[in-house]
C-alpha cells in the first residue's frame, strides 16, 4: 500500500517540479528583458543602462511577518531593486533557528552573495569565505563611510580587513540589553531613586513582592521576569562585571564569562532572588509570548530587554493597562562594589551584512548598501515607498504610519534593511510623539553609558572536538545551563559552581581556553 | 484461520515453491529482455519508486562516510580528512553518553509498554460499541489531536500545568494543595512526554487496528456464538487472534526503531532542568550537529543507532517467526 502511494506521489511531484521549473524559467526571463527598457526610460541620459545585478541574500526574518513568495514580486523590495538596479533574491530564515538553517544551507553547498550575521567572526570567516571589502567600500560606499561610526567599523574589522557592512546599534548605543522598570510601581512602594547597588535592587524587588503595587489586592506580582535558557537576565549578572556571553582576561588567560568568579556572584544573586520569590518561578520555561503577556498583564515589575524597544514597551502597556497609567523607564545597571564595567556585552553593531567570496558582483553589492545609507534610502527604510506610505514635499516628510503598519511592512523593512544607527530627525518623525521620543532617547542614553568590553569580537572559531564543550563561548552550553539552573533553584549549593568549573575544563573547556588565550596573547595584546 | 492470516503478511514466504516456479517457467520460456519488453508498463510503473529509494534512501547512505572523517562543510565529502573510528571512541568515552543512551531506552520502553497497547485497547473498545453514530463520533474526537503540531501540544500543556496560570494549578489551589511543577520537574518528565504522546497519537494509530478488525470474517463470530461463547470469549479467541498479525508487524517495526523516541515530542518539553532524564540520542545529536555544526560525530551517532536498530529488527523478526509464525519477511 504505502510503497505504491509513495511511487505515485513521486510521479506527481516529478511532473510538478517539471511544470514549476518551466514556469520559473519563464518568469526569470521576463524581468531581464523588461528591466533595461524601464531603466533607460527612467534615466534617458545613459544610453546603455547596465543589466541589473543579481544579488542573493540570506537574512533573518527577525520573527516578523516577512513577505512570502518571490522577492521581486513584493512591491517594497521591487522598489528597492529598481532604485539600486539589482535583481534581488532575499531568503528569510526563521530568527531563532538562523544559525542552524545557515549551517544546513552551507552544508548543501548553498552559499549566497550576502549573508546577514551578528559579527564578522563565525563559520564563514573561519573557513575563509568572506570577501575583504576595504577597497570596494572606498570606491563604492561614500555614504556608508559617512553614516556608520568608526566603532561599528572596528567591530567588523579583523587584521585590518573590513569583513562586513555593519548596522550600528540603534541610537549608536554600546549594549543591547538594559533594565526596564515600572516607574509607577516604584512610586507606589515609595522608592523614588533607581537602585545603585545589588542590595538596593533586592530592596526594590522585595517591595514589589510585598506591597501590592498593582493594587488588585492579590499577591500576584512577579518582581522580575526573564525567558527560557537564561536569556534576558544579562544585566543582573552584569552588576558583577561578567555575564555568560562576555569573556574576561585574567592571569594571561582568556576565560568565558560564565566560569568567572564574577558570574558565581551573579548566580548567588539569582539564587537569592529565586529563594525569596523575586524572580518568575517559570523563568526557565517562559517563551517569548508568555513572557510578553505577563508583562502586558501588569504583573511584572522589572525586566531586561533591548534599549531600542523603550517606547514599544510603554506603548504596549498603555494599550493593555489603560487605567493604571503605566510608566516604563530604563535605568542604569546597578554596580556591585569594586566592579568597573557593568551592564551587558559591548556590541556596537546590531547586525552585519557579510559579503562572501562567492559574490558575483561585489561592487554592485556595496552600491546596493550604499544606497540604503543615502538620505533617500534612509527615508525608504523608515517610511516605505514615496507616494505610498509617505510623501516628501520640499523636505517636509508626512508619514502615514497607520497605512504602513496595516500593510505589515513597517517592522520587517527597517529591521532587515536598516544600516544607519541614529538619525534623530527621522526618529522624531517616525515616533510622531514627543513623549515617545524622550522615552527612547533616555533608554539610548542608558545603553550608551555602560557595557562590558567585548574581548572576543574578532575571535576565530575555536574547535575542541569534544562534544560537550565544542567551542569557546556560551551558545546555550547545556552543561552550564544545567549547573546554573540547579544552583539558582537551590538544588545544588552555590559552591557547586566550583565543581562545575572543574568539570567544564575537563570536558574540553581547558582546550578551548588554551586556544582562545593563545589567540588573544598573540594578536590582541 | 491460516488462510486469513496470509492475507495480511508473508504471502511469498508461505508459498516458496510456487513463487520460484514462476521464475523458472519464465527462464525456460523466454529471455529476460523479451519478458520485460512484453510487460513494459509494469516496469515503467516501478521506476518512480525505484528512483525514490535510490535518490532519497540509498545515495544519502553514502554520506555516512563522514562518520569516519573530520568533516568540514566547506571542504566537502571528498577533501575532508579521514579519522577512522575517532568519533566512535569519543562517544564511548563521553561522560554523558551512557546516561543519554539509558534515557533513550527507558523512554522507548515506556512507549512500548504504555503507548503501544493504547491504540489496540482503544480499537477493541470501539469495536464493541453498538451504536455506529457514537462510535464514529468518539473515533473522530480521539484522532483529532494527531493533527496538532508538537509546539501546540506543548502550548496546551503549558496552559494546563503552568504554576502561575495553569488550569490544574488553579484546580489544586481550590483544594488548598500546592502547585506541582510538572513542566520543570525531572521526576514527571518521562510520564508527561509519553502521556502526551499517547493522547496525541492513540486515536490515529487505532485506525489501522480498526481496519484489521473489519477484516475478521463475521462467520467466525457466528460460529463462536453457536458454540455458546460469551463476548469476552469471542474477544479472546476470535478478535485478538485476528488482530495478531497487525500487532506483531507494528511491534516489530517499533522494536526496530527502539532508539527513535520522537525528536520533536521530547525537544519541545525539554529544558535545562530536565536534561538529566530527558536528553535522548535524537536531541543530543540535534544539539551537537545542527547547533554546534559537529556533523561527523552526529553521523556517528546516527550510524550507531541504525546498526542497533538493524540488529534488533533482524533478531526479533527471527524470534517472532519461530514463536508466533508471524514476521516481516
The interface residues of chain B toward chain A in range 242-281, judged by CB-CB distance below 8 A, are 271-273, 275-276, 279
For chain A, the residue count is: 525
What is the phi-psi region of residue A134: left when phi exceeds 0, alpha when psi lies from -120 to 50, beta otherwise?
alpha
Instruction: Identify the bridge partners of residue A330 per DSSP, sorted by sequence position.
Output: A180
Domain boundaries, chain A: 49-173+349-422, 178-344+452-524
From B80, B233, B51, select the one nearest A13 (Cα to Cα): B51
CATH topology of A49-173+349-422 equal to that of A178-344+452-524? yes
Helix (H, G, I), strand (E, B) or coil at A523: helix
CA distance B225 to A478: 62
Which residues of chain B does A17 touch, with a Cβ-Cβ cutoff of 8 Å? none
In the beta sheet, which residues pair with residue A179? A304, A331
Pairing of strands B69-70, B81-82: antiparallel
Render each residue's pLDDT in chain A as its tens digit; 525 residues: 344 444 444 444 444 444 444 443 333 333 333 333 333 334 444 445 678 999 999 999 888 888 888 888 899 999 999 999 999 999 999 887 888 888 888 888 889 999 998 888 777 887 888 999 999 999 999 999 998 988 788 888 888 889 999 998 877 788 889 999 999 999 999 999 999 999 999 999 999 999 999 888 888 899 999 998 899 999 999 999 999 989 999 999 999 999 999 999 999 999 999 999 999 998 988 888 889 999 999 999 999 999 989 999 999 999 999 988 999 999 999 999 999 999 998 887 888 999 999 999 999 999 999 999 998 999 999 889 988 888 888 778 888 888 888 888 888 898 899 888 888 888 888 777 888 888 998 999 999 889 998 888 778 778 887 888 888 888 788 889 999 999 999 999 999 999 999 999 998 899 999 999 998 998 776
Closest-CA residue of chain B to A282: B163
The pLDDT assigned to A59 comes to: 93
Residue A397 φ then ψ, to 5°:
-95, 125
Measure in Å the smallest separation between the Cα of A234 and chain B Cα atoms. Answer: 18
Pairing between strand A247-250 and A161-162? unpaired
User: Chain A: nearest CA to B38, how far in angstroms?
Assistant: 22
What size, in residues, is chain B? Answer: 329
Q: Where are the domains of chain B?
A: 21-54, 96-323
Options 1.10.3720.10, 1.20.1050.10, 3.40.50.720, 1.10.357.10; CATH for B96-323 is 1.10.3720.10
The CA distance from A143 to the nearest CA of chain B, in Å, is 34
Residue pair A304/A291 in contact by the 8 Å Cβ criterion = no
Q: How far is B233 from chain A (nearest CA, A)?
A: 33
Contact criterion met (CB < 8 Å) for A507 and B95:
yes
Which residues of chain B lie closer than 8 angstroms to A285, CB-CB? 158, 183-184, 271
Least Cα distance to A126 among A422, A471, A393, A501 occurs for: A471
pLDDT at A273: 96
- Which pLDDT tens digit goes with each residue over B117-169? 999 999 999 988 889 899 999 999 999 999 999 999 998 998 888 888 788 88
- State the complex-level ipTM: 0.71
HSE-up (13 A, CA, CB side) for residue A388: 15
Contact A116, A59 (CB under 8 A): yes
Q: Which of A26, A69, A3, A329 is nearest to A181 (CA)?
A: A329
What's the CA gap between A475 and A471, in Å, rounded? Answer: 9
**Eight-state DSSP code of residue A476:** T
Can you tell me the distance from the alpha carbon of B280 to that of B288, in angstroms, rounded to the nearest whole number? 12
CB A148 within 8 Å of CB A351: no
CA angle (A179 as vertex; A173, A183 as ends), nearest 5: 120
| CB-closest option in B49, B272, B275 to A7 | B49
Alpha-carbon distance of A353 to A482, in angstroms, equals 34
- Flag whether residue B162 sits within 8 Å of chain A, measured between CB atoms: yes
Query: Would you say residue B14 has pLDDT above 80?
Result: no
Q: Average pLDDT of B209-215?
A: 90
Which residues fall within 8 angstroms of residue B26, CB to CB, at 6 or more apart?
A: B32, B35
Q: What is the distance between the alpha carbons of residues A402 and A400, in angstroms, rounded to a whole number?
A: 6
Residue in chain A nearest B275 by alpha carbon: A482
Are the C-beta atoms of A440 and A328 separated by less than 8 Å? Answer: no
| Contact assignment for B294 to A507 by CB distance below 8 Å | no
Question: For position A319, what pLDDT does the model report?
Answer: 93
Cβ contact A285–B158 (<8 Å):
yes
Residue A162: helix, strand or coil by DSSP?
strand
Q: Report d(CA A221, CA A124) in Å as an integer.
A: 46
At residue A49, the pLDDT reads 65
Q: Do A391 and A108 contact (CB within 8 A), yes or no?
A: no
DSSP letters for A412-427: HHHHHH---S--HHHH
CA distances from B158 to A286, B148, B161, B280 (A): 10, 15, 5, 22
pLDDT tens digit sequence for B61-118: 888 888 898 887 777 778 888 888 888 888 888 888 889 999 999 999 999 999 999 9
Q: Where are the alpha helices (DSSP H) in A224-329?
A: 234-238, 261-275, 288-296, 310-320
Contact A10 B273 (CB under 8 A): no
How far is B42 from B38, CA to CA, in rounded Å? 9
User: Rounded to whole angstroms, what are the CA distances from B258 to B97, B106, B120, B136?
Assistant: 17, 10, 19, 32
Residue B173: per-residue pLDDT: 83
Residues of B with Cβ-Cβ distance to A281 under 8 angstroms: 163-164, 181
Domain A49-173+349-422 has CATH 3.40.190.10: yes
Three-state DSSP class for B82? strand
- CA-nearest of A388, A393, A374 to A83 is A374
Residues A470, A508 contacting (CB under 8 angstroms): yes
- What is the CATH number that goes with domain A178-344+452-524? 3.40.190.10
CA distance B165 to B150: 21
CA B177 to chain centre: 39
Quick check: helix, strand or coil at residue A511?
helix
Rounded Cα distance, A242 and A250, in Å: 12
Q: What share of chain B is helix, strand, coil (3-state, %, to 5)?
A: 80, 0, 20
Report the gap between the CA of A375 and the closest CA in chain B (Å): 39
CB contact under 8 A, B295 and A107: yes
Q: How confident is the model at residue B12 (pLDDT cuts 50, 70, 90)?
A: very low
The C-alpha of B106 sits at a distance from chain A's nearest C-alpha, in angstroms, of: 21
What does the pLDDT read at residue A13?
44
| Residue of A228, A289, A467 to mutate, interface with B, max B Cβ within 10 Å | A467
What pLDDT sits at residue B28? Answer: 59
Following CA atoms B113, B115, B118, B119 in sequence, which dihedral angle do they give, to the nearest 10 degrees?
Answer: -130
Instruction: Show the DSSP H helices in B129-216 as ranges.
Output: 132-143, 150-161, 167-174, 186-214
Q: What is the C-alpha R_g of chain A? A: 25
What are the E-state strand segments in B8-124? Answer: 69-70, 81-82
> CA A33, A34, A38, A44 torsion: positive or negative?
positive
pLDDT at residue A254 in the model? 94
Rounded to the nearest integer, the mean pLDDT of chain B is 85
Residues 25-84 of B with CB under 8 A from A: 45-46, 48-49, 51-52, 72-74
Distance of CA A374 to the CA centre of its chain: 23
| B244 φ/ψ angles, rounded to the nearest 5 degrees | -50, -45
Task: Taking the CA atoms of A452, A453, A455 and A459 in sequence, report the sign of the dihedral they define.
Answer: positive
Q: Does B297 touch chain A (CB under 8 A)?
A: yes
> How many other C-beta atoms are found inside a 10 Å radius of the C-beta of residue A436?
18
Answer whether A470's CB lies under 8 Å from B288's CB.
Answer: yes
Do B217 and B134 meet the contact criterion of CB atoms below 8 Å apart?
Answer: no
**Which H helix or E strand runs over B101?**
helix B97-110
Q: What is the pLDDT of residue A191?
A: 93
Residues β-bridged to residue A92: A59
Does the distance separating the beta carbons of A3 and B49 come in below 8 Å? yes
Is A121:A158 a contact under the CB 8 Å cutoff?
yes
Name the strand (E) or helix (H) holding A34: helix A2-42
Q: Which chain A residues in 71-130 lie under 8 Å from chain B, judged by CB atoms?
A: 99-100, 103-104, 106-107, 123, 127, 129
Q: Which of B198, B213, B211 is nearest to B143 (CA)?
A: B198
- Whole-structure pTM value: 0.74
**How far is residue B117's CA from residue B147's CA, in Å, rounded to a whole number?**
21
SS3 state at B183: coil
Is the predicted pLDDT of residue B17 greater than 70, yes or no? no
Amino acid at each position: 500500500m504505502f510503497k505504491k502511494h509513495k511511487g505515485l506521489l513521486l510521479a506527481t511531484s516529478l511532473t510538478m517540479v517539471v511544470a514549476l521549473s518551466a514556469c520559473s524559467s519563464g518568469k526569470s526571463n521576463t524581468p531581464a528583458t523588461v528591466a533595461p527598457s524601464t531603466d533607460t526610460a527612467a534615466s534617458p541620459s545613459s544610453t546603455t543602462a547596465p543589466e541589473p545585478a543579481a544579488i542573493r541574500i540570506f537574512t533573518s526574518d527577525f520573527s516578523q511577518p516577512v513577505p512570502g513568495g518571490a522577492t521581486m514580486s513584493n512591491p517594497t523590495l521591487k522598489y528597492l531593486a529598481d532604485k539600486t538596479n539589482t535583481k534581488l533574491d532575499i531568503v528569510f530564515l526563521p530568527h531563532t533557528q538562523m544559525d542552524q538553517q545557515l549551517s544546513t544551507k552551507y552544508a548543501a553547498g548553498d552559499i549566497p552573495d550576502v549573508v546577514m550575521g551578528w559579527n564578522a567572526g563565525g563559520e564563514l570567516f573561519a573557513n575563509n569565505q568572506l570577501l575583504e571589502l576595504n577597497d570596494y567600500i572606498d570606491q563604492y560606499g561614500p555614504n556608508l563611510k559617512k553614516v556608520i561610526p568608526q566603532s561599528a567599523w572596528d567591530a567588523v574589522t579583523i587584521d585590518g580587513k573590513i569583513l562586513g557592512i555593519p548596522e550600528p546599534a540603534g541610537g549608536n548605543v554600546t549594549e543591547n540589553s538594559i533594565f526596564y522598570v515600572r516607574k509607577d510601581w516604584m512610586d507606589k512602594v515609595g522608592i523614588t531613586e533607581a537602585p545603585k547597588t545589588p542590595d538596593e535592587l533586592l530592596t526594590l524587588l522585595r517591595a514589589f513582592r510585598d506591597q501590592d503595587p498593582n493594587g488588585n489586592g492579590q499577591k500576584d506580582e512577579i518582581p522580575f521576569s526573564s525567558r527560557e535558557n537564561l536569556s534576558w537576565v544579562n544585566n543582573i549578572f552584569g552588576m558583577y562585571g561578567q555575564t555568560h556571553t562576555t569573556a574576561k582576561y585574567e592571569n594571561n588567560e582568556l576565560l568565558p564569562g560564565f566560569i568567572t568568579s564574577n558570574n558565581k556572584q551573579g548566580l548567588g544573586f539569582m539564587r537569592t532572588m529565586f529563594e525569596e520569590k523575586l524572580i518568575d518561578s517559570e523563568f526557565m520555561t517562559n517563551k517569548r509570548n508568555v513572557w510578553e503577556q505577563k508583562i502586558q498583564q501588569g504583573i511584572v515589575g522589572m525586566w531586561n530587554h533591548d534599549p531600542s524597544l523603550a517606547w514599544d514597551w510603554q506603548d504596549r502597556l498603555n494599550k493593555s493597562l489603560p487605567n493604571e497609567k503605566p510608566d516604563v523607564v530604563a535605568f542604569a545597571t546597578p554596580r556591585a562594589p569594586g566592579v568597573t564595567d557593568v551592564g551587558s556585552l559591548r556590541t556596537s553593531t546590531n547586525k552585519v551584512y557579510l559579503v562572501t567570496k562567492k559574490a558575483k558582483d561585489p561592487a554592485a553589492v556595496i552600491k546596493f548598501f550604499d544606497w540604503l545609507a543615502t538620505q533617500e534610502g534612509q527615508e525608504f527604510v523608515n517610511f516605505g515607498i514615496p507616494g505610498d506610505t509617505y510623501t516628501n514635499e520640499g523636505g517636509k516628510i508626512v508619514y502615514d504610519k497607520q497605512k504602513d503598519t496595516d500593510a505589515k511592512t513597517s517592522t520587517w523593512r527597517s529591521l532587515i534593511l536598516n544600516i544607519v544607527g541614529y538619525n534623530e530627525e527621522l526618529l522624531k518623525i517616525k515616533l510622531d510623539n514627543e513623549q515617545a521620543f524622550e522615552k527612547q532617547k533616555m533608554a539610548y542614553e542608558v545603553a550608551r553609558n555602560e557595557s562590558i568590553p567585548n574581548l572576543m569580537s574578532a575571535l576565530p572559531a575555536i574547535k575542541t572536538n569534544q562534544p560537550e564543550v565544542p567551542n569557546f563561548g556560551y551558545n546555550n552550553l547545556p552543561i552550564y545551563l544545567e549547573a546554573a539552573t540547579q544552583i539558582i533553584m537551590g538544588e545544588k549549593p552555590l559552591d557547586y559552581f566550583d565543581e562545575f568549573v572543574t568539570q567544564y575544563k575537563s570536558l574540553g573547556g581547558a582546550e578551548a581556553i588554551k586556544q582562545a588565550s593563545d589567540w588573544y596573547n598573540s594578536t590582541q595584546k | 484461520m491460516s488462510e486469513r492470516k496470509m492475507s495480511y503478511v508473508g504471502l511469498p514466504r508461505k508459498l516458496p515453491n510456487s513463487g520460484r516456479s514462476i521464475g523458472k517457467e519464465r527462464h525456460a520460456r523466454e529471455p529476460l529482455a523479451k519478458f520485460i519488453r512484453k510487460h513494459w508498463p509494469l516496469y515503467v510503473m516501478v521506476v518512480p519508486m525505484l528512483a525514490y529509494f535510490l535518490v532519497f534512501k540509498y545515495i544519502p547512505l553514502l554520506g555516512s562516510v563522514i562518520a569516519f572523517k573530520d568533516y568540514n562543510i566547506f571542504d566537502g565529502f571528498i577533501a575532508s580528512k579521514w579519522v577512522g573510528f575517532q568519533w566512535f571512541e569519543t562517544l564511548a568515552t563521553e561522560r554523558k553518553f551512557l546516561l543519554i543512551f539509558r534515557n533513550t531506552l527507558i523512554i522507548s520502553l515506556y512507549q512500548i509498554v504504555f503507548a503501544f497497547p493504547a491504540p489496540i485497547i482503544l480499537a477493541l473498545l470501539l469495536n464493541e460499541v453498538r451504536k455506529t453514530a457514537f462510535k464514529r463520533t468518539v473515533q473522530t474526537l480521539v484522532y483529532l489531536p494527531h493533527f496538532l503540531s508538537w509546539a501546540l501540544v506543548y502550548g496546551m500543556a503549558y496552559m494546563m500545568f503552568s504554576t502561575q496560570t495553569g488550569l490544574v494549578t488553579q484546580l489544586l489551589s481550590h483544594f488548598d494543595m500546592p502547585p506541582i511543577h510538572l513542566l520543570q520537574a525531572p521526576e514527571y518528565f518521562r510520564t508527561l512526554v509519553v502521556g502526551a504522546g499517547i493522547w496525541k497519537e492513540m486515536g490515529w494509530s487505532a485506525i489501522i487496528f480498526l481496519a484489521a478488525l473489519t477484516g475478521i470474517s463475521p462467520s467466525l463470530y457466528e460460529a463462536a456464538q453457536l458454540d455458546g461463547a460469551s463476548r469476552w470469549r469471542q474477544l479472546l479467541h476470535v478478535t485478538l487472534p485476528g488482530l495478531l498479525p497487525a500487532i506483531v508487524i507494528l511491534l516489530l517495526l517499533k522494536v526496530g526503531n527502539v532508539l527513535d523516541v520522537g525528536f520533536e515530542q521530547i525537544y519541545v518539553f525539554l529544558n535545562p532542568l530536565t536534561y538529566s532524564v530527558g536528553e535522548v540520542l535524537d536531541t543530543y545529536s540535534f544539539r551537537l550537529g545542527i547547533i554546534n555544526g559537529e556533523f561527523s560525530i552526529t553521523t556517528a551517532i546516527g550510524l550507531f543507532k541504525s546498526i542497533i536498530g538493524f540488529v534488533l529488527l533482524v533478531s526479533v523478526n527471527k524470534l517472532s517467526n519461530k514463536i508466533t509464525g508471524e514476521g516481516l519477511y
